Amino acid sequence: MNLIAEIGINHNGDIKVCKDLISVANLSGFNYVKIQKRNPDLCVPEEQKTKMKETPWGMMTYLDYKKKIEFNENQIVELIEHSNKLGITFFASVWDTDSIEIMSRYCNIGKIPSALITNLDLCKYARKCFDKLIISTGMSTEEEINNCINACNPDVIMHSNSTYPCPPEDLNLRYIEWLKEKHPTKQIGYSGHENGIITTIATVPMGITWIERHVTLDKNMWGSDQKASLDIQEMFELVKNVKIIEKACKYEPQKRIQFEKENIKKLSLRK
């Protein structure tokens, strides 16, 4: 199982917080750690740029806020080096061509977030730049998902519902079955935004090979994604339980009684 700890923007632009999250993700057993990379000048809609936003650093325009929480290229390199020393793979969701170019200089894996899978030019460019490409399918119709897959041939397709947090009844987990049936040559994953870990663990027997969850040091930290993220204890619990379920599902679907031989002798009345 490939487990991604999605830091996203939960670092709030603080490189120490980001490094701490990378360290915890590594200790808890995640394979990958991911942030979001943007050029705010390109990504923030024009009508949003001058709107005022209350932040921990005072009132500022939405554009200035987005710039404040963004890591520059030197900081990205610093985070990659920190990850490499620990033995965990660092990468990013890329929101524009500038960010694709920066991240692809250092990482061979990238992700197109749900919000951008309708930007087919961006998806195609990402495909050219990354050896492994992941897409998430939140907020998207079946037609939009198919168009993206046809345009960029991603390696991994992740089922997702982009509600933060998403109620269990809206998770639509059985869409994973549809993705596996329709795209048998692709790796299918799950990017969850629900509270807790039970429903994420439930995707393991469904045959997914990638799991992504947002992570935080403290759900009470400032930021829009903190509440829907796993805290430190939940990160450890998720990894532990995913590994347990993987062991319980390791055999092909057929009856096996070799583990019961002794009890057959002791308990069975068969002749």
| pTM recorded for the entire structure | 0.94
φ/ψ of 91, rounded to 5, equals -155, -170
From 134, 84, 135, 125, select the one nearest 102 (Cα to Cα).
125
- The per-residue pLDDT for range 142-183, each reduced to its tens digit, is 999 999 999 999 999 999 999 989 999 999 999 999 999 999
Q: In the predicted model, what is the mean pLDDT of the chain?
A: 95
CA distance 43 to 65: 13
Residue range 15-33, pLDDT digits in tens = 999 999 999 999 999 999 9
Number of domains in the chain: 1
Pairwise CA distance, residues 168 & 188, whole Å: 20
Domain that holds residue 216: 2-267
CATH number at residue 15: 3.20.20.70
Listed residue (183, 180, 196) closest to 154, CA to CA: 183
Structure token pair of residue 162: 């982009």
What pLDDT does residue 81 have?
A: 98
Residue 253 — pLDDT band, cuts 50, 70, 90? confident
